[in-house]
Amino acid sequence: MLDLTFLKNNLVAGINIAMKAVPTRTSLPILECFLLEAKDGRVTLTANDMEMAIKTTLNAEVAENGKVAIDAKLFSEIVRKMPEEEVRIEVTESLQVKITSGKTHFEIPGKDGGDFVDMPSMEKGTPIVVSQMTLKDIIEETIFSIAPNENNKMMTGELFEINNNVLRVAALDGHRIAIRYSVLQDYYEKKAVIVPGKTLNDISRILSGDASKNVSIYMGRNNILFEFEDTVLMSRLIEGEYFRINQMISDNYETKLIFNRRELLECIERSVLLVRENDKKPLILDIKDEGTKLTLNSVIGSMKEELQPEKEGKDLLIGFNPRFLIDALRAVSDEKVNLYLSNSRAPGYIRDDEGTYIYLILPVNFVTR
């Protein structure tokens, strides 16, 4: 019914990709399985948790075509423990799955592959094409700003918006906003969708980050599909209209500081040594012409440091969550960073002159000693 021989490393790589779409809990036992299928000389491994589905193509010697659903977790663990480079998988008419490597033999029950809930069909249309490196960077440089819970579903996803030849990706959690812009090679019809954060986290882990390899992105009404190398990933979208980000962003400022990014980042990282995990002690910036003093006081102790950024505009005293500043600074690779401020109650902005990124962070109220 099915007879395949794999190189173990290739099979493990495919399992690692597909495993991201296997649900941890489900009322449908068939979804706890992989669908392993050989058809027309093509071998695929599919997983589907009904929110996201992944199909990846595997290199294998095909002696006999067929398909079977196999318990994903058990199959993964067995394959990883196999002793030899080659792994053979045979499926009998009674759906017994025989897994052999060298002198090691396993036999486990399979399920009818016809019962598996396969990836839904989707009208693709024209794809948006970006490099794997670009997409991976965009996700990693914004994903930290999504909300971790589902009190507001919109905040658990990211806005993917196409306007002519520009892709804008944005995330917010109510305290900060992260926005990245990428100029595309072609022009596209205007479109905006909200992609779940879990989907984007999984994609960023699968992507190689190779600048010479592309990702084709298809945006549908209810789903988004990513095609790259030997993998297709489809995800449901979050329904609704995203927040009006343009109304939250301002070009007005009273104070501009230009910091050495690494110097500022290392200073703030030192300050959080005094902040316990759930503590919300602010980092206070006392900005004057002669320098900027950074102060943090907590129940553990206090820290003070002075930096000498380039300064334009008014003196200012303002406080921020230091971890939010760290997240933004780690997402930037520029040697210098610009911090724009208006007053102690208005958001601060970290953004570049070229307009490729914006990080908005709300200030924190504090009491001076």
What tens digit of pLDDT does each residue of 39-89 get?
A: 988 999 999 999 999 999 999 999 999 999 999 999 999 999 999 999 999
Q: Can you tell me the mean pLDDT for 6-26?
A: 96
Q: For residue 89, what are the β-bridge partners?
A: 4, 99
Q: How far is CA 107 from the centre of its chain?
A: 37
Q: For residue 111, what are the β-bridge partners?
A: 69
- Which pLDDT value is given to residue 186? 93
What tens digit of pLDDT does each residue of 83-108 get?
A: 999 999 999 999 999 999 999 999 99
- Which pLDDT value is given to residue 341? 98
Q: Can you tell me the mean pLDDT for 267-279?
A: 91
Instruction: Say whether pLDDT at 138 is over 80.
Output: yes
Q: How far is CA 175 from the centre of its chain?
A: 19
Q: Report whether 282 contacts 320 (CB < 8 A).
A: yes
Q: Report whether 323 contacts 352 (CB < 8 A).
A: no
- Which pLDDT value is given to residue 177? 98
Residue type (1 letter), 39: K
Give CA–CA dist 149/146, Å, rounded: 9
- Which pLDDT value is given to residue 277? 78
- DSSP letter string over 276-343? -TT--PPEEEEEETTEEEEEEE-SS-EEEEEE--EEEE--EEEEE-HHHHHHHHHT---SEEEEEE--
Q: How confident is the model at residue 357 (pLDDT cuts 50, 70, 90)?
A: very high
Cα Rg of the chain (Å, integer): 25
Instruction: Say whether pLDDT at 36 is over 60.
Output: yes
> What count of other Cβ atoms lies within 10 Å of the Cβ of residue 255?
19
Q: How confident is the model at residue 368 (pLDDT cuts 50, 70, 90)?
A: low
Q: Can you tell me the mean pLDDT for 325-330?
A: 98
- Which pLDDT value is given to residue 361? 98
What DSSP designation does 238 have?
A: P
What DSSP designation does 51 have?
A: S
Instruction: Give the percent of the chain with pLDDT over 90.
Output: 91
Q: How far is CA 332 from the centre of its chain?
A: 16
Buried b (16+ CB within 10 A) or exposed e, 20-39: bbbbeeeeeeebbbbbbbbe
Give the tokens for residue 80. Answer: 């990883």
What tens digit of pLDDT does each residue of 147-172 get?
A: 987 778 999 999 999 999 999 999 99
Average pLDDT value over all residues in the chain: 95
Which helix (H) or strand (E) covers residue 358, if one does? strand 357-361
Closest CA to 307 of 295, 294, 319, 296: 294
Give the predicted TM-score (pTM) of the model.
0.93
Give CA–CA dist 177/155, Å, rounded: 10
Q: Can you tell me the mean pLDDT for 9-22?
A: 97
Residue ranges, CATH 3.10.150.10, the chain: 2-115, 128-247, 255-361
* Pair type for strands 42-48 and 33-39: antiparallel
Q: Can you tell me the mean pLDDT for 14-35?
A: 95
Helix (H, G, I), strand (E, B) or coil at 141: coil
Helix (H, G, I), strand (E, B) or coil at 159: strand
Closest CA to 176 of 39, 307, 325: 325
Between 279 and 267, the more confident residue is 267
Closest CA to 270 of 258, 280, 283, 285: 283
What tens digit of pLDDT does each residue of 18-28 get?
A: 999 999 888 89
Instruction: Say whether pLDDT at 131 is over 60.
Output: yes
What tens digit of pLDDT does each residue of 116-127 get?
A: 998 888 988 899
Instruction: Say whether pLDDT at 325 is over 70.
Output: yes
Instruction: Say whether pLDDT at 369 is over 70.
Output: no
Q: What is the largest CA-CA distance in the chain?
A: 81
Fold observed for domain 255-361: DNA Polymerase III; Chain A, domain 2 (3.10.150)
- Which pLDDT value is given to residue 40? 87
> What count of other Cβ atoms lies within 10 Å of the Cβ of residue 88?
18
Report H helices in the chain.
Answer: 8-18, 72-81, 132-140, 197-206, 261-271, 322-330
Q: For residue 37, what are the β-bridge partners?
A: 44, 67
- Which pLDDT value is given to residue 206? 96
Which helix (H) or strand (E) covers residue 255, if one does? strand 255-260
Closest CA to 233 of 57, 52, 36: 52
- Which pLDDT value is given to residue 362? 97
Closest CA to 63 of 47, 43, 78: 43
Give domain 128-247's CATH number out of 3.40.640.10, 1.20.58.1690, 3.10.150.10, 3.30.365.10: 3.10.150.10
What architecture does CATH give domain 2-115?
A: Roll (3.10)
Give CA–CA dist 325/310, Å, rounded: 18
